[in-house]
Structure 1
Amino acid sequence: MWPVSRSAVVAVADSPWRRCTGGVTAAKGFQAGGISAGLKVSGRPDLAVVVAPEQAVCAGCFTTSCVRAACVDLCSERLQQTAGHARAVLINSGQANACTGDRGLVDSLRITRVLADQLGCSEELVLICSTGVIGVPIPMPNLLAGMQPLLADFTEDGGDRAAAAILTTDLVDKQIALEAQLGDRTVRIGGMAKGSGMIHPDMATMLAFLTCDAAVEPALWQSMVRRAVSRSFNAITVDGDTSTNDTVLAFAAGEPLAEPDHAQLELGLTQAMQELACAIARDGEGATCLIEVRVEGAVDEASALQIARTICGSSLVKTAVHGRDPNWGRIVAAAGRSGVRFNPEDVALWIGEHQLMASGQPLPFDRQAASDVLRGKDVLIRLKLMEGSAEARAWGCDLSDQYVRINADYTT
């Protein structure tokens, strides 16, 4: 697992949230597990489960693509049916089970029915997520044969096993666990995610699962999750492509918090999601560095985020970073085509600590020193406007020839 630089996430100086261990099972009462069920030719782990305490609240955010896997629609529908409650989610990797006709839904229903029977709960409380090659159905005999071993595997310390079982082209697993003292007790947030390619808002070829051991009213929890997703998973890009299965599910169960602590809980949720999102961007297919773009002085947060995402998604910016070329013209050009209106004569620009523009004019700078900044594992680009006081961040990665090689050979 690659750690995420603290500079690449929400400002943590005033945050009560600190790292702990446990991943998605860090939150009290949650269990998880992962096994190899033979869904992948490689024999690597490919089937995972996360089980929440009874009466757990669950909020979801899903791909905006109109080409969606049946499991996405099933999750969305069931969260509506249960008024935002869920008991478990099963995740298979290797097959997206998208664009597979009626079989996609039939198989998803069958799988969740088996898990519901084993847990002794209603089918509507069981969710399913799939990831892998589009157009390929799940090998049901293998998966069903793996259900008993999987259910024998999930434990309160099974976060590592679950995180490994949801990966596809990822090079590393992606986990987070945070804790904070809120009121008179310790609250924990855990999480895991997968994603490496086809990453672009809204959302990406990614799955993410969060757990929290504090009870939150369903509508409030959904609002928190939606805002946190906007500032994290919907602020990353690797290659400009979104997919068919993208899902974020966040569970909450435990003792309720006092209302004054809700803001701190949302801060922790956002921090956890941003760290997972940055881990996805850092692990972009063929990537050698994480790019963070900060846009300041915008008229509102949405405008700042749109500009930052456009810069992160620019192939010319990404290839310049990979070539360690401080070609700042590509950065401001990307900002200009973002769809957000601003006065170019007010723009200031930095790569790392090196200022390249002020008041819309180029400045002399040490080109070699700026190039050296681009050789680091974390590259910061900062763009300042004079339109307002809002700011936002987006994250991406450089674009290398390895991205082409990986995706040219993906299904063969």
Structure 2
Amino acid sequence: MEHIKGAGVCAPLGFSASSAVADVKGNGKGKRDMALLYSEVPFNAAAVFTSNKFCAAPVIHGRELIGKKGKFSAIVVNSGNANACTGEKGLAACGEITKAFAAELDVDEKAVLISSTGVIGVQLPVGKMTAKAGELIDELDSGNSHEFAEAIMTTDAVKKEYAVLVETQNGAYVVAGAAKGAGMIAPSMATMLAFITTDAAVKTDALQEALSHAMTDSFNSVTVDGDMSTNDTVFLFANGMSGIIPNREEFFEAVKTVCVELAKMIVRDGEGATKFCTFKVVNAATDEDAKKCAFAVANSPLVKTMLHGEDPNWGRIFATVGACGIQCRQDNVDLYFENLKYAENGIIIDYALEPQAAAIMKKKDIEITVDLKEGSASKTVYTCDFTKEYISINADYRS
């Protein structure tokens, strides 16, 4: 498996994309805020959606269509408006928009999906969006991966794309993806959208298995601020144009690799973030304890501000571990800043180690490990720091 540098959703055979300025948010800023992803042959689709009970209209729309296990030709994506908490009118808007694009593409209206991200509680400007159908279809091109990735951004500072080439005895296939997300990032899933494409020939059920398998260590292992969105969705599309029926394990690993890399990019681009931190909990009594502890530490505002202050204030981490409700004993826990063992059996090893720990905390990428010594379960979670910029971005979000 080889990383294809600079490649995105159009890297697999048959996929093309386009973007346009539709002024979905109505602020007249001229941002590209609509995108279209299309395959020249119908594709199988799998998806994982947010577990938020107040899910957005496109999530409801997508669940229904994906659940029928049909073939699809395209997906329309917009930023600037989440189409969430918009009632029956919001759901009807999904139908109107996909129908308009289906007519222009000359495909069945059930062959077009839709995904939205942005402000909650505002109706979609359906007229503005359907008016862009012709332009978006005319502009479809296999070289427009970057344009697609840019158009789906909201508070993102950078585009997020990743692709891998998998060589087999019978030829090669590609798995590629694009994602957006920087704030309201929490597990089950991270608050974001992700679109993964492949030209491998994979049936719908196997496609869903591959995506569900990839979620645990990728989009369900990241957190920026602990807030779950209404629109979170990850799609996986397979059009089979490479002609390669992939080895199951190899394909699962390729999908997981793309998902993990995109998930890490979301954390690195966390709103206002200056630090990327890998929190590891090892030797927990159960998988659930490991997960609960890792997310408790990764979501702690005190720990996240500690990261930003570059302060090895290990007491904040221990306090969070002790409060998270798992099986643990204070006199049994060790703490590492990268490879530096800083605390053993619940107490600091030597105060003289602080300069070394402080030097580690000054790095942009930091790894912290908590060893509970209660069992053999482990969990890794990716998070970032909290900064003043995070507050500024979210205070001004609707403007």
Q: TM-score, normalised by structure 2?
A: 0.94
| 8 Å Cα contact 1:18/1:180 also seen in 2 | no
Structure 2 residue aligned with 1:384, among 362, 368, 371? 371
Rounded to whole Å, the distance in 2 between the matches of 1:210 and 1:20 is: 16
Pairing 1:165-204 to 2, within 5 Å after superposition: 165-204=151-190
Kindly report which structure 2 residues correspond to 1:207-356, keeping only aligned pairs within 5 A, or say none. Answer: 207-254=193-240, 255-258=243-246, 261-356=247-342
> SS of the counterpart of 1:285?
coil
d(CA) in 2 for partners of 1:177 and 1:294?
A: 26
Alpha-carbon separation, structure 1, partners of 2:254 and 2:150: 24
Residue in 2 aligned with 1:24?
Answer: 9
Query: Which shifted more, 297-306 or 400-409?
Result: 297-306
Equivalent in the alignment of 2:127: 141
Measured in 2, the distance between the counterparts of 1:308 and 1:263 equals: 28
Once the 2 structures are TM-superposed, how far is the Cα of residue 391 of structure 1 from its aligned partner? 2.6
Q: Would you say 1:127 and 2:113 are equivalent positions? A: yes
Scaled by the length of structure 1, what TM-score is found?
A: 0.91
Deviation at 1:396, TM superposition (A): 0.9
The superposition leaves residues 208-255 of structure 1 with CA deviations (integer Å, 9 ceiling, x where unpaired) of 000111122222211221121121111111111111111111111213
1:265/1:133 CA distance change after superposition, 3 Å:
same
With 402-411 and 344-353 compared, the bigger mean Cα shift is at 344-353
The total of aligned residue pairs comes to 394
2:359 is the alignment partner of 1:372: yes
1:51 matched to 2:38? The reply is yes
Aligned: 1:115 with 2:101: yes
Deviation at 1:336, TM superposition (A): 3.1
SS in 2 for 1:369: helix
The secondary structure found in structure 1 opposite 2:175 is strand
1:165-208, Cα deviation, whole Å (9 max, x unpaired): 00111111111111121333222111001111111112233100
Query: For residue 378 of structure 2, what is the amino acid of its counterpart?
Result: E
Percent of aligned positions that are identical? 38
Unaligned 5+ runs, structure 1:
1-15
Runs of 4+ that moved beyond 4 A: 299-302
1:77 and 2:64 aligned: yes
Question: What secondary structure sits across from 1:132 in the alignment?
Answer: coil
Of 193-202 and 301-310, more deviation after overlay is shown by: 301-310
Q: CA RMSD in A?
A: 1.8
Residue deviations 1:314-363 (CA, integer Å, cap 9, x gap): 11110111111111122223233334323443322111232112233321
Three-state SS of the structure 1 residue aligned to 2:315 is helix
Contact 2:173–2:244 under 8 Å retained in 1: no
Measured in 2, the distance between the counterparts of 1:85 and 1:408 equals 42
- Counterpart for residue 9 of structure 1: none
Cα distance in 1 for partners of 2:239, 2:371 equals: 41
Give the distance between the partners of 2:2 and 2:227, measured in 1 at CA.
Answer: 33
1:402 aligns with 2:389: yes
Give structure 2 stretches of 5+ with no counterpart: none
- SS of corresponding position for 1:45: coil
- Superposed CA deviations along residues 31-69 of structure 1, whole A, max 9, x for unmatched, are 112121222422111001111343411111111111111
Name the CA distance, whole Å, in 1 between partners of 2:144 and 2:325. Answer: 45
Residues 1:200 and 1:69: Cα distance change in structure 2 (over 3 Å): same
